[in-house]
Chain A
Amino acid sequence: MSETDLMQAASASFLARFEGLKSRLPGDPAVREAARERVQANGLPNRGLEAWKYTSLRPLAEISFAEPLSDASEIDPAHVPGFMALLPDFDLPRLVFLDGRFRADLSVLPELASVANFAVAPRLGPTREGPLDALNTMLAEDGAVINLDPGVDAGTLLLVNLAQDTAGRPVAFHPRHRIRLAAGARLELVEIALGEGVYLHNPVFEIELGDQARLTHLRVQNESARAFHLASIHAQLGSGSVYDSFTLALGSRLSRVEMDVRLAGSGAAAHLNAAQMLGGEQHGDFTTCVRHQAKSCASRQTVKNVLAGHSRGVFQGRIEVARGADKTDGYQMNQALLLSPDAEIDSKPELEIFADDVKCSHGATVGALDDDQIFYLESRGIDEKTARSILVRAFIAEALDHLTLAPDSEAVIRAYLDARIEAGFERIAA
């Protein structure tokens, strides 16, 4: 079957699910219907599309996904204690989802943020361009809705997505998260995705930052090795606001994160940093589009890839500078460390600049671990494996160093990240 036909066929199973579910789905039926039409017309994205030339959803299309059980309580909770034990050792408020459904029994609500769950307060935003967004809009059943009032500092909040297949049947879920920070509000959102078995996790985030608001968005994608993680993050930034994000991609057989960030108010800043640690047959795609639409905005992207086995990393970074967005400062760097001759990195920067007086730069490097550095560490008594791990962590540190964390949770979060990165290296180097 050709890829286009395959993607059409795959979308048919999602469309059939929609037909079965639609009477129970919350929100405006017209929005759902519009999304359905787009899914039906376009299918799942295929590699004929420029934005998808490095990432094929063929492995996803070959799986037929069951509908998650309609009653969340029917999901076997056997893995849950193990998952919860993998969370940072910290008494933080947390919103926990299992197979895409909110679990009040596992969650601890924050004091300062107003939190609703999507199923209760459904408000689908305007449908967006991306094919993954359409899939999500058509099928979203639940998600976190987080609102911060002006000037509130809500501290740190965990957003946890646990997943497991149901009795060996692959499941798909499409959480829709909305995060709105009013002017001057602050939040540190630590998003962690964990799972077992085969599943598709297809979240969409709609993020809106008011003037001078600040959102730190740390994403730890540690999905099951057989899972698919297809995330879309849309953020709109008001004047002087900061969206500081770092994505750590460790798990999944195939993952793609699309970040679409609109710098709409002057002096806004976006950091879209990431590290992907991939081994075996893993495929990880980090795709960004930063739209500079106001004066004096800054965007920073440092993306590090550590690739072992037959893995493949993709970075596509697009920077658009609109007419009049003067004093734009855009920076983009994609670096890859290849630990195996069979690993591959694809890097595609795109700059589209319609303003004068703009500073925009991009770069890419590819290399291997340095034998001289390994020997230097070994000669001091450090074994070779640890030496490699130290150098890999040092390589990633540069992207991580930019992340600003709240002082009271910083030590625990950084220790958690270090441990995940160390474990990630152990896994891909094995």
Chain B
Amino acid sequence: MLVINNLHAKIDNKPILTGLDLVVPTGEIHAIMGPNGAGKSTLSYVLSGRAGYEVTAGTATLDGQDLLALPPNERAALGLFLAFQYPVELPGVGNANFLRTALNAQLRARGEAELDALQFLKRARAEMKRLAMPDDMLKRNVNVGFSGGEKKRNEVLQMALLKPRLAILDETDSGLDIDALRIVADGVNAQRGPDFSALVITHYQRVLEYIVPDRVHVLASGRIIRSGGPELAFELERDGYAQVIANAA
């Protein structure tokens, strides 16, 4: 379970998160929607531990463990996964090697047995088949020369292999056509279960037709200003952020 309490964060001395409260129970998928500049990406980076963000107040825990005190890799080992809005290219780093190194680092951190090359390949190929990814994507360098859709699918592949307890999808829908969106959504839905939760950060309601959330939260000026069921996404789509924010004020 993710519990965020009164979270304040700054970047370059500019306050971005201004007292954010949020609870995502294990097994649920929540959506965070908000206009540009509301703090959506900042929230995902503060939770995953990117440098450059200063947390000035508040707490964030995953299954009772303090996230904010840990380096990013230890947060990942606890089961936190960030699907990047702009997945990073790593020239010279093979995708298979990268994925196995990451998976084994997490297994090691949790005291579980690591996978050898063969065991890993078997598992990776099975997940790739589900995501309709060609085999050669394992041989290529991480995200290098991938189309926008391939990059997002590679994020979902990583999620499927790392099996996080909480996945944060940071505008994973941006730049995807309908077919790719469907594949990505299927990948997320395949993880659904009592041990998996997700925070779907998005601008648009469209992705939520494919990944139906248990709850929808509206983020504006660094705080959650309204929460509701899936129908809240449709209200935002119909009335626009400005209207919903004005009504909440």
A residues sitting closer than 8 Å to B (CB atoms) are 370-373, 375-384, 386-387, 390-391, 393-395, 397-398
- Of the candidates A384, A386, A391, the one whose C-beta lies within 8 Å of that of B90 is A391
- B169 contacts partner chain A, Cβ-Cβ < 8 Å: no
Contacts of B106 in A (CB 8 A): 380-381
| A381 and B90 within 8 A (CB) | no
Of the candidate stretches B70-78, B116-124, B172-180, B228-236, the one touching chain A is B70-78
Residues of B within 8 A of A390 (CB): 93, 98, 101
Q: Which of the 9-residue segments B3-11, B44-52, B59-67, B211-219 touches chain A?
A: B44-52
Q: Contact: A382 with B71, CB < 8 Å?
A: no
**CA A227 to CA B73, docked complex, whole Å:** 39
Within 8 A of A (CB), among B87-118: 87-88, 90-93, 98, 101-103, 105-106, 109
Minimum C-beta distance from B199 to chain A (A): 15
Q: In the assembled complex, how far is the CB of residue B97 from the closest CB belonging to chain A, in whole angstroms?
A: 9
Cβ contact within 8 Å between A376 and B88? yes
In angstroms, Cα B82 to Cα A376, docked, is 9
Size category of the B interface is 20 to 34
**Complex CA–CA separation, A383 to B72 (angstroms):** 8
Q: Is B185 positioned at the interface, with any CB of A under 8 Å from its CB?
A: no
Which one of B49, B71, B91, B162 lies within 8 Å of A380 (CB-CB)? B162
Closest chain B residue to A378, Cβ basis: B72
- Given A375-B50, A375-B51, A375-B72, check contact A382 B102 (CB 8 Å): yes
Given contacts A380-B105, A381-B73, A381-B77, 15 further A-B pairs with CB under 8 A are A373-B88, A378-B72, A378-B73, A379-B72, A379-B82, A379-B84, A380-B73, A380-B76, A380-B102, A381-B109, A381-B162, A387-B73, A391-B93, A393-B92, A394-B93
Whether A394 contacts B92 by the Cβ 8 Å rule is yes
Shortest Cβ-Cβ A-B pairs, 5 listed: A394-B92, A380-B102, A381-B76, A378-B72, A381-B106
- Provide the bound-state CA to CA distance between A385 and B105, in Å: 13
Give Cα distance in the complex from A382 to B93, angstroms.
Answer: 14
Say yes or no for B158: interface residue by CB 8 A criterion. Answer: yes
Rounded to whole angstroms, the CA-CA distance of A372 and B48 in the bound complex is 13
Cα distance, A383 to B75, chains bound together (Å):
11
Interface centre among A375, A378, A380, A390 (most CB of B within 10 A): A380
Which residues of chain A are near B92, meaning CB under 8 Å?
393-395, 397-398
Q: Which residues of A contact B72 (CB under 8 A)?
A: 375, 378-379
Complex CA distance for A273 and B76, rounded to whole angstroms: 38
Nearest CB of B to A369, in Å: 12
Q: Roughly how many angstroms separate A386 CA and B105 CA in the complex, as a whole number?
A: 10
Within 8 A of A (CB), among B180-223: none
A393 to B93, CA, bound (A): 8
Do residues B73 and A382 form an inter-chain contact, with CB atoms below 8 A?
yes
- Complex A-B: 13 CB contacts under 8 Å: A372-B88, A373-B90, A375-B50, A378-B49, A379-B48, A379-B50, A379-B72, A379-B82, A380-B158, A381-B162, A390-B98, A393-B92, A394-B93
* Across-interface contacts of A382 in B (CB, < 8 A): 73, 101-102, 105
Residues of B within 8 A of A375 (CB): 50-51, 72, 88
Using a CB–CB cutoff of 8 Å, the interface residues on chain B facing chain A are 48-51, 71-73, 76-77, 81-82, 84, 87-88, 90-93, 98, 101-103, 105-106, 109, 158, 162
A376 touches B90 (CB 8 A): yes
Kindly report which residue of chain A lies nearest to residue B90, judged by CB atoms.
Answer: A373
Contacts A379-B82, A391-B93, A394-B93; is A384 near B73 (CB within 8 Å)?
A: yes
**Chain A residues whose CB sits within 8 angstroms of the CB of B73 once the complex forms:** 378-384, 387
Say yes or no: A371-B51 contact (C-beta < 8 A), given A378-B76, A382-B105, A394-B93: yes
Chain B proximity of A102: nearest CB distance (Å): 39
Considering only CB atoms, which chain A residue lies closest to B105 in the complex?
Answer: A381
How far, in whole Å, are A397 and B91 apart by their CA atoms in the complex?
9
A375: nearest residue on chain B (CB-CB)? B50
Kindly name the residue among A371, A376, A379, A381 whose own CB sees the greatest number of chain B CB atoms within 10 A. Answer: A381
Contacts of B102 in A (CB 8 A): 377, 380-382
Shortest Cβ distance from B53 into chain A, in angstroms?
11
Residues of A near B50 (CB, < 8 A) are: 375, 379
Contact partner of A383 among B87, B93, B103, B105, CB < 8 A?
B105
Q: How far is the CB of A31 from chain B (nearest CB, A)?
A: 46
CB distance from B142 to the nearest CB of A (A): 8
Task: Collect the chain A residues with CB atoms within 8 Å of residue B98's CB.
Answer: 377, 380, 390
Chain B positions within 8 Å of A398 at CB level:
91-92
Complex Cα gap A395–B91 (Å): 8
* A387-B98 Cα distance, complex, nearest whole Å: 10
CB-CB under 8 A from B88, the residues of chain A are 370, 372-373, 375-376
Q: How far is the CB of B63 from chain A (nearest CB, A)?
A: 16
Assess the B71–A383 pair: CB atoms within 8 A.
Answer: yes
**Judging by beta carbons under 8 Å apart, are B71 and A384 in contact?**
yes
Rounded to whole Å, the gap between the CB of B144 and the closest CB of chain A is: 10
- Name the residue on A nearest B168 (C-beta): A379
Q: How far is the CA of A375 from the CA of B64 in the complex (A)?
A: 24
Complex alpha-carbon distance, A238 and B245, angstroms:
77
Across-interface contacts of A373 in B (CB, < 8 A)? 88, 90
Kindly provide the distance from the CB of A233 to the nearest chain B CB, expressed in whole angstroms: 27
Chain A residue nearest in CB terms to B79:
A381
Q: How far is the CA of A390 from the CA of B97 in the complex (A)?
A: 10
> Which residue in chain A gives the minimum CB-CB distance to B143?
A376
Residues of B within 8 A of A380 (CB): 73, 76, 98, 102, 105-106, 158, 162
**CB-based contact B77/A378 at 8 Å:** no
By a CB distance below 8 angstroms, the chain B residues around A397 are 92
The answer for the CA separation of A375 and B91 in the assembled complex, in Å, is: 15
Note all chain B residues with C-beta closer than 8 A to A370.
88
| Whole-angstrom distance between the Cβ of A67 and the nearest chain B Cβ | 46
Query: What are the residues of chain B within 8 A of A395 when measuring CB–CB?
Result: 92
A397 to B102, CA, bound (A): 20
What distance in Å separates the Cβ of B15 from its nearest Cβ neighbour in chain A?
22
Determine the chain B residues whose CB is within 8 A of the CB of A377 once the complex forms: 90, 98, 102
Instruction: Specify which chain A residues have a CB less than 8 angstroms from the CB of B158 in the assembled complex.
Output: 380
- A380's nearest neighbour on chain B, judged by CB, is B102
Task: Give, as a whole number of angstroms, the nearest-CB distance from B172 to chain A.
Answer: 14
- Chain A residues whose C-beta falls within 8 Å of the C-beta of B162 in the assembled complex: 380-381
